[in-house]
Amino acid sequence: MRVRLGVAAVIACVAAAVPGRADEGMWMLHQLPEIDARLRTMGLELTPKQIWDPATNTGLASAIPWLGGCTSSFVSPDGLIITNHHCAFGAVQMNSTPAHDYITDGFLAATRADELPARAQRVWVFKGYEDVTAKLRPYIEAGAAPLQRTRALEAREKQLVAECEASGLHCRIAEMYGGGEFYMFRQLELRDVRLVYAPARAIGEFGGEIDNWMWPRHTGDYSFFRAYVGPDGKPADYSPSNVPFKPDRFLKLAPAGVKAGDFTMIIGYPGRTMRYRIAALVAQDAEFGYPYQIKLLSDWIAVLDRRAGTGKDVEIKVASVVKGLANAMKKYQGMVEGLTKEDLAGRRRAEEAKLQAWIDADPARKAKWGDVLPALDAQAAAGAATRERDILVRYLPRVGSLLPAALTIVRWSQQSGKPDVERDLGFQARDERTIRMRLRTMQRNLDIPTDRAVLAFFFERAAALPAGQRLPALDAALAATGKTGGAAVAALVEEVLGRTSLADEKTRLGLLGLDEAAVAAKHDSLLDFAIALRRDVETVEDEGKTAEGVLIELTPHYIDALAAFRGAPLYPDANSTIRFTAATVKGYSPRDGVYDEPFTTLPGVIAKCGPVAPFNCPRRLTDAYAKGGFGPYVAAPLGAVPACFLSTNDITGGNSGSPIMNGNGELVGLAFDGNYESMTSDYVFSNTLSRTINVDIRYVLWCMDYVDNAHALMREMGVEPAHR
């Protein structure tokens, strides 16, 4: 679940939709009236308008900001934000040093003045969305060639976004149903975010990689940020004179929590699902995409682990990347296991055969949709021809720190001269601040020997690409060393990193203003290599856009056929836009003879404690437990403080940190993971097996109250501490 990687496993293809069965469905907020009757039966007390009223742009959703890869909630009128510990991990790490090891010990700001800047962190407050399909569909239906179609659509999108952002809000267009519908999402972007409180790692990340994706779970995966704005109330960069942001809405806590069978709902920003990805692509994922990436990530982690072993400072610098890679790898392993075990490709193939037969059975249907599935299959087969190369190129932004920085600088120099609407997405004027921040904050974790090691690792992989998938820039650069094999790779790393000045923060930031010619004139070894490599990457990007152009035309037809075939309400695949999922607190049977209970408890945390990480409970936790105060946080049916609980909510990566709420919209916990069996729920949700893992608000409060004495924060959230 803890996937914060920007890399996608495979090219997004069929963002299809499935009929809403039971607790399945990541619904768009404007769809709630469609399923309202069922929600009411399940236990929802709020009306759709109380959750989000498109007319007034008010409701519960306003309290739930996106963190970029994670979800969060406002929990006080003073911009206090709760999210997962693993979502705040980067901020904790950024502020840690060997002398102040907040990762291990946790951090609690004694006063607001002590809150620590989380410089790389942004908070995007939900400000509503609108349907812009009518403004974009004509560009798909215009009959242009695929690459041109994609480009025209992108240009129009940029134009619309620019118009929207004139309001001062951050805007983004998201396509739904594979391009059948388009929505413009508005967010208020807050740039001064501060770390307020994170528990010790052995609470917030208790169980670590061992327990990740697992049940029973005992992780106190929570942390707090606070959003700040300028004294004028407007978004501003960090400044000591800034003031707490006043959200339109914040969530109330429900310290009584929930019990088995209770209704729960989650609002958040699920990243990506592939609920109706075609069989051919599912088979490619299971047989090639995931296995290839598992090997890649496993070797990559080994490279970083060797570096981490050289010293505490390096260990801290690479911790966050290792965490991300390891989490992705575990997810991919679960995917392969799940997809294979459930033979999802085979089941999809059978389903598609039925759909095709149904289409073929009627001349009108056949005329309309007869060619869609065969065309999608052909596109999938074509895409497989460059699969190794495409995956490697997708990982480029994570190949150390310096090469990604160089690629960004080069691309910026190429784009910044053009009119804004012609510039690549992510390289427009609106993106400069983010890019500049990234180029600055990367200094914190920069470790040249690690960059060398990762670059060598990547070059070796790329040098081994099959014929027809080569990266010409790399081939040329390796040949130019006059050496072969490992010696060539070593020489190229030396050549590329040996004469670069990008490791200097000031130099690096200074380069971002320059045009293409000026960058080339620097004759910086790394920039020169990046200029050549960008040409290869552009080729890959253009091929991707061509495929996109094909798919955006085909997929809505496929979805239409599917909708007609099924005749049931649809929800679109997840795409990091705000969604709603309703469910029940419920255990499950992971296998014959075993029932996983819906709750774990504080005594269960204590039972797992031991001398070795990730189970090395902090002394103040075990002392507090031994002392025996549990306040009002004991759940009567359990006779103990609940630690984590399971619910049938339909979530995925990106939902991390999401508030899980009772029927009145009160906070009863935070979603932070899915169970192992839910990994394949990105492809297919299972009511019997897919579960969301939540940290119980009662465990959060007990830790705040009895372990960390975070009493001021509790009072700020309207909860009176029990511990004196």
Decide if 124 contacts 107 (C-beta within 8 A). no
Decide if 485 contacts 512 (C-beta within 8 A). no
- E strands, 612-716, in order: 642-647, 659-661, 667-674, 692-696
Catalytic residue among 23, 76, 85, 86: 86
Whether residue 320 lies in the annotated active site: no
- DSSP conformation class of 706: I
CB of 597 to a copy of itself, least distance (A): 5
Shorter beta-carbon distance to a copy of itself: residue 181 or 211: 211
Shorter beta-carbon distance to a copy of itself: residue 370 or 587: 587
What's the one-letter identity of residue 402? L
Decide if 15 contacts 552 (C-beta within 8 A). no
SS (H, E, C) 409-449: HHHHHHHCCCCHHHCCCCCCHHHHHHHHHHHHHHHHHCCHH
Chain Cα centroid distance, residue 69: 3
Shorter beta-carbon distance to a copy of itself: residue 670 or 719: 670
Crossing angle between the packed helical segments 448-463 and 485-498, to the nearest 10 degrees: 140
CB of 602 to a copy of itself, least distance (A): 9
Can you give the binding site for a copy of itself, defined by CB under 8 A? 215-218, 589, 591-597, 599-601, 603-604, 607-608, 643-644
Decide if 493 contacts 454 (C-beta within 8 A). no
Chain Cα centroid distance, residue 704: 27
Shorter beta-carbon distance to a copy of itself: residue 146 or 590: 590
Is residue 253 classed as helix, strand or coil in its secondary structure?
strand
Shorter beta-carbon distance to a copy of itself: residue 209 or 342: 342
CB of 206 to a copy of itself, least distance (A): 13
CB of 604 to a copy of itself, least distance (A): 3
Catalytic residue among 72, 525, 656, 658: 656
Shorter beta-carbon distance to a copy of itself: residue 473 or 668: 668
Shorter beta-carbon distance to a copy of itself: residue 110 or 612: 612
- DSSP conformation class of 569: -
CA atoms within 13 A on the CB side of 381: 6
- DSSP conformation class of 585: B
Shorter beta-carbon distance to a copy of itself: residue 554 or 693: 693
- DSSP conformation class of 572: P
Decide if 186 contacts 223 (C-beta within 8 A). no
Burial tier of 21 (Cβ tally within 10 Å: 0-12, 13-18, 19+):
exposed
What is the C-alpha to C-alpha distance for residues 19 and 563, in angstroms, rounded to an integer?
8
Decide if 182 contacts 131 (C-beta within 8 A). yes
CB of 678 to a copy of itself, least distance (A): 16
Catalytic residue among 23, 192, 211, 221: 221
CB of 607 to a copy of itself, least distance (A): 6
CB of 596 to a copy of itself, least distance (A): 6
What is the C-alpha to C-alpha distance for residues 605 and 626, in angstroms, rounded to an integer?
13
Whether residue 656 lies in the annotated active site: yes
Decide if 338 contacts 685 (C-beta within 8 A). no
CA-CA distances (angstroms) from residue 440 to 113, 304, 445, 589?
24, 22, 11, 48
CB of 507 to a copy of itself, least distance (A): 53
Whether residue 221 lies in the annotated active site: yes
Q: Which residues are identified as catalytic?
A: 86, 221, 656
